[in-house]
């Protein structure tokens, strides 16, 4: 998620799209005989629209290009152009700037934690009226659709393609050799990290210090301790004793137990991936999209389990993502046809199976490619624990944007757990 791609925008005509679409459909279905989709014929005039998505890597970029190719090849009226050359965090900034300049795209890929800010600032066109008329609406998991409201009483704000759950990867062979079972509670997790650390270069836990994503994986543990972060009535408890205790134990892996790698403060996603693949860490929090590489490197030695809990209930952070209609779009019905297309059938499989993340549609989730991946199956088996923090809170963006450097200072030991949580609470209260 860290590198920006070149800024070349790709326009795909129907003729250009056909060959790409056929290859993309076959790839999405894993060679299972996928059938080409046909877009709805509701739009009977020539229109040209734009779609923006980010690209974590060349495979992710190709998914965007291939899905647009499939759509363009499926009908004769709507031509979609795609720009999938931006980094994930850059996508939000680029949309805001382009919207202000009157040059926004028609459809953009979004993640749950952005949509409330988009909605309140008028960038987003809610889709509930259109969604409720769609004959495929019942195929979406109801709890995921409810999440797309962002706040109770609001309409559906976008159409999800996936919701990526984050859980605990662990080295089953190391746990077995040490006579340990996978951690169920947070204290068991902390103890296991310490027990599985072996000098000079094997660590119990792969800890992240870079970007806001570094603390995203702690959100479900804070939540399991009863932390609400921020409530609609203005109450903020991120600086509560329960929240600080969770933070202190986490930081203790780096600062006291030395059970996290010494490079943690500067490590991001790529570094943690490499540590796990090279057999240098016993546990790592991430999503199922890491599973193909980890299985290739470690085989059955790598397994997954729910996030450990402090209280009685497990929480699995899972952020829905999918296409969003931009409010300035002049051809909204055409945009809706595209949004339905890329969240259905083989196009949806491109965004899910090809990234190895779970779909949010009942019929797709039963396909063998998902049921045969032990990490996705485990995640789907615990669908009732999928959860998001209060992204709708008025100061959540302020918190998310400003907290990363304070986390790095905490991992360095330059500020305490209490000071970190107190600063985060100030951001959530809008005091800083």
Same domain, 151 and 71: yes
Exposure string for 40-76, b = 16+ CB within 10 A, e = fewer:
eeebeeebebbbbbbbbeeebbbbbbbbbbbbbbbbe
The DSSP result for 62-89, as a single string, is HHHHHHHHHHHHH-SSEEEEEEEEE-HH
| Residue 37 confidence (pLDDT) | 60
Distance CA 259, CA 248 (A): 14
Q: What is the pLDDT of residues 95-106, one digit of tens each?
A: 999 999 999 999
Chain-centre distance of CA 21, in angstroms?
Answer: 26
**Does residue 4 sit within a domain?**
no
Q: 56-60, 257-261, 285-289, 301-305: which has the minimum mean pLDDT?
A: 56-60
| Residue 8 pLDDT class (50, 70, 90 cuts) | very low
| Residue 57 pLDDT class (50, 70, 90 cuts) | confident
Neighbours of 264 (CB within 10 A): 25
**Structure-token pair, residue 348:** 């949806």
- State whether the Cα torsion 335-340-343-345 is positive or negative: negative
Q: What is the pTM of this model?
A: 0.86
**Does residue 196 sit within a domain?**
yes
Where in 172-251 does DSSP place strands (E)? 203-205
The DSSP result for 14-41, as a single string, is HHHHHHHHHHHHHHHTTSS-PPPP---T
| Residue 38 confidence (pLDDT) | 53
25 pLDDT exceeds 80? no
Distance CA 80, CA 107 (A): 10
| Residue 297 confidence (pLDDT) | 96
**Does residue 67 sit within a domain?**
yes
Same domain, 417 and 379: no
Rounded to 10°, the helix 404-412/241-255 angle is 60
2 pLDDT exceeds 50? no
**Does residue 5 sit within a domain?**
no
207 pLDDT exceeds 50? yes
The answer to whether the beta carbons of residues 127 and 325 sit under 8 Å apart is yes
Same domain, 406 and 277: yes
| Residue 233 confidence (pLDDT) | 87
What DSSP designation does 45 have? S
Rounded percentage of the chain residues whose pLDDT exceeds 70:
90
**Does residue 314 sit within a domain?**
no
Same domain, 289 and 418: yes
Same domain, 370 and 300: no
**Does residue 344 sit within a domain?**
yes
**Integer angstrom CA distances of residue 267 from 264, 303, 379:** 5, 23, 26
28 pLDDT exceeds 80? no
| Residue 39 confidence (pLDDT) | 52
Same domain, 423 and 286: yes
Instruction: Please list the alpha-helical segments (H only) found in 202-326.
Output: 213-216, 219-224, 241-255, 269-277, 291-298
| Residue 35 pLDDT class (50, 70, 90 cuts) | very low
127 pLDDT exceeds 80? yes
| Residue 383 confidence (pLDDT) | 96
Same domain, 224 and 327: no
- Nearest one of 27, 99, 78, 84 to 51, comparing CA atoms: 84
**Does residue 313 sit within a domain?**
no
Average pLDDT over residues 301-325: 97
Of the three residues 369, 387, 405, the one that is the final residue of a domain is 387
| Residue 13 pLDDT class (50, 70, 90 cuts) | very low
As a whole number of angstroms, the longest Cα–Cα distance in the chain is 68
Same domain, 171 and 150: no
Same domain, 293 and 151: no
Q: Residue 197: which domain range?
A: 167-306+395-429
| Residue 26 confidence (pLDDT) | 37
Q: By three-state DSSP, how is residue 304 classified?
A: strand
Total tally of structural domains belonging to the chain = 2
Same domain, 258 and 407: yes
Q: By three-state DSSP, how is residue 429 classified?
A: helix
| Residue 20 confidence (pLDDT) | 36
| Residue 155 pLDDT class (50, 70, 90 cuts) | very high
Q: 48-62, 134-148, 251-265, 400-414: which has the minimum mean pLDDT?
A: 48-62
167 pLDDT exceeds 50? yes
Average pLDDT over residues 379-393: 96
15 pLDDT exceeds 60? no
34 pLDDT exceeds 90? no
Average pLDDT over residues 221-239: 95
89 pLDDT exceeds 90? no
Rounded percentage of the chain residues whose pLDDT exceeds 90:
84
Same domain, 160 and 209: no
Distance CA 397, CA 401 (A): 6
CATH number for the domain harbouring residue 140: 3.40.190.10
76: cis peptide before it, omega within 30°?
Answer: no
**Does residue 139 sit within a domain?**
yes
Same domain, 267 and 413: yes
């Amino acid at each position: 998620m860290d590198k920006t791609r070149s800024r070349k925008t790709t326009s795909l005509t129907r003729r250009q799209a056909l060959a790409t679409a056929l290859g993309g459909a076959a790839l999405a279905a894993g060679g299972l005989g996928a059938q080409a989709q046909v877009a709805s014929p509701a739009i009977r005039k020539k229109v040209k629209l734009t779609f923006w998505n980010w690209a974590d890597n060349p495979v992710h970029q190709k998914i965007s290009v291939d899905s647009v190719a499939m759509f363009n090849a499926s009908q004769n009226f709507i031509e979609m152009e795609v720009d999938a050359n931006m980094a994930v965090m850059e996508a939000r900034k680029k949309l805001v700037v382009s919207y202000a300049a009157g040059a926004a795209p028609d459809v953009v890929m979004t993640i749950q934690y952005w949509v409330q800010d988009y909605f309140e600032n008028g960038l987003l066109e809610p889709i509930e009226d259109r969604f409720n008329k769609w004959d495929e609406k019942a195929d979406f998991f109801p709890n995921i659709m409810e999440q797309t409201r962002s706040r109770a009483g609001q309409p559906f704000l976008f159409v999800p393609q996936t919701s990526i759950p984050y859980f605990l990867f662990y080295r089953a062979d190391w746990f077995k050799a040490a006579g340990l079972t996978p951690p169920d509670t947070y204290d068991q997790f902390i103890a296991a990290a310490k027990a599985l650390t072996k000098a000079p270069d094997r660590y119990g836990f792969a800890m992240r210090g870079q970007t806001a994503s570094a603390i995203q994986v702690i959100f479900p543990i804070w939540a399991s301790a009863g932390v609400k972060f921020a409530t609609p009535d203005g109450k903020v408890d991120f600086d509560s004793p329960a929240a600080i205790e969770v933070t202190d134990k986490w930081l203790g892996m780096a600062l006291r137990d030395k059970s996290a790698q010494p490079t943690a403060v500067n490590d991001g996603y790529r570094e943690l991936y490499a540590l796990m693949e090279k057999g240098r860490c016993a546990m790592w929090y991430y999503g199922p999209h890491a599973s193909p590489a980890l299985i290739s490197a470690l085989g059955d030695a790598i397994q997954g389990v729910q996030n450990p809990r402090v209280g009685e209930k497990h929480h699995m952070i899972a952020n829905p993502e999918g296409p969003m209609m931009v409010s300035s779009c002049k051809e909204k019905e055409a945009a809706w046809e595209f949004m339905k297309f890329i969240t259905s059938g083989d196009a949806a499989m491109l965004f899910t199976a090809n990234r190895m993340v779970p779909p949010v549609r009942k019929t797709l989730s039963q396909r063998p490619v998902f049921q045969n991946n032990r990490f996705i199956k485990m995640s789907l088996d615990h669908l009732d624990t999928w959860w998001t923090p209060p992204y709708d809170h008025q100061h959540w963006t302020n918190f998310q944007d400003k907290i990363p450097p304070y986390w790095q200072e905490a991992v360095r030991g330059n500020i305490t757990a209490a000071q970190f949580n107190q600063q985060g609470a100030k951001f959530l209260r809008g005091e800083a």
